[in-house]
Amino acid sequence: MLTTEDNQLLTRVGPGTPMGELMRQYWVPALLSSELPDSDSDPVRLMLLGEKLVAFRDTSGRVGLLRHLCPHRGAPLFLGRNEENGLRCVYHGWKFDVTGKCVDMPNEPPESDFKKKIKPAGYPCVEKGGVVWAYLGPRAEPPPLPALEALDTPEEERLILPLMVNCNWLQIVEGGLDTVHVSFLHAGHIRPEDAPPGSFLEHITRDRTLRYKVCDTDYGYICGAYRPVGDDHYYWRIAQFLFPFYAMVPTGVLGAKVETLMTVPLDDHHTMQYAVLKKGTGTYIAPGQTVGLLLDQTPLLPNSTDWLGRFRSTKNAGNDYLIDREAQRRGDSFTGITGFVHEDLAMTEQMDPILDRSIEHLGTTDMAVIRLRRRLIAATKALAENGTTPPGVDDPSVYQQRAGGVVLPKDADWMEATEELRRAEVSHPELDLTISGGA
């Protein structure tokens, strides 16, 4: 159970908050490159870490991210003209380049040097892996980007699935690392005899509890959750948390799956989650299925120009996620909600926008959630009180990790036995992806 003070520390992300300042030490995914499709295309409104911002692609193809109000009289830059390598406010004609520098002030007389006195109000942006990254932090020279394998995957092999979630970022990350819920929320209706023999799915339905081992790392932590397989082996579900908001969840086969979940706070009550994965590596996929089932092939609402109008599912709280109570009663589904992602969505959103964690009663299978909170609290307080740089900021190589499932002998050292399988950029053609059975 968290104190109210610690709960606020973990969940509040706006400028000046301890967690918001920790996240501003890192590059932050701001939007997809495809949301700014062409030079001089329409600007995009977006929220990011509690700030209202406007993104645009200039005539030369560079991306700018500006505070949304013109520094002259506070007019909305979203309604400005994107032209000739700058965004021009239509109120008085002030024009800003991608750095936020004022490059034209046509309402001032020619001899005026006033534009040189306007402090730039933009954030550095770079593009990598189909994502526009922004640095909202204090350094004059930003740190390196994280070396996430999924984002380094060639474009033709990479898939990015964005989804708006209407709740605080932390309960989403906690849900991804809470591996025991899979046996109930996603597979509670499946009998072990109905799963492929010897598969991971059989293991999680035959024994629905777990035991945990968690180790801190220089990028966050690694969690191994295990259950018996016969008399001599354990099935391990190995997950990774990587600062400040990345998770590699234990679905699929360890050593083959290439995926990262990027859970980006827009504000305290709304989050954009990007699932970035390499196609064909077994993520959420049973034999014969397609990756579209990650979102149950549920269409998204058309993006609007609202601050929170991007990548919203048509299956949502307003229609109770299209829950089918008859399917739930028949046992066709444990939840009556189709799609793993939407089952998770229903749980995290309906906890309330920010969960009051003082009501919780955590048990032994909540170890991963407990360790996540402790790591975040410690890093946030170390930054606020001592100026300690958070984990991973200056060393992109520590993000070269993988997660997934594996069966090991009971007497094996799980960290030592999986070291090579957890290493990114290593090929393991000998692995059988069908062993997951869809787990």
83 and 123 together in one domain: yes
56 C-beta neighbours (distance < 10 Å), count = 24
177 and 257 together in one domain: yes
What predicted TM-score, i.e. pTM, was given to this entire model?
0.94
The tens digit of pLDDT for each residue in 373-398 reads 999 999 999 999 999 999 999 999 99
Which of 85, 107, 135 finishes a domain? 135
pLDDT of residue 352: 94
Tell me whether residue 14 is in a domain. Answer: no
Tell me whether residue 3 is in a domain. Answer: no
The tens digit of pLDDT for each residue in 299-352 reads 899 999 999 999 999 999 999 999 999 999 999 999 999 989 999 999 999 999
Which of 70, 102, 135 finishes a domain? 135
Domain that holds residue 334: 149-436
Tell me whether residue 22 is in a domain. Answer: no
Q: How confident is the model at residue 282 (pLDDT cuts 50, 70, 90)?
A: low
163 and 230 together in one domain: yes
Please list, in sequence order, all residues whose beta carbon lies within 8 angstroms of the beta carbon of residue 348, skipping any fewer than 6 positions away. Answer: 165, 167, 171, 172, 175
Tell me whether residue 6 is in a domain. Answer: no
Number of domains in the chain: 2
> How far apart (Å, rounded) are the C-alpha atoms in residues 147 and 398?
8
Query: Is the pLDDT score of 292 beyond 80?
Result: no
- 3-class DSSP state of 291: helix
Give residue for tokens 């082996």: 233
The two beta strands, 44-48 and 51-57, are antiparallel
Tell me the two tokens of residue 6.
């610690």
63 and 128 together in one domain: yes
Tell me whether residue 141 is in a domain. Answer: no
The tens digit of pLDDT for each residue in 182-205 reads 999 999 999 999 999 999 999 999
* Contact present, 392 and 146 (Cβ < 8 Å): yes
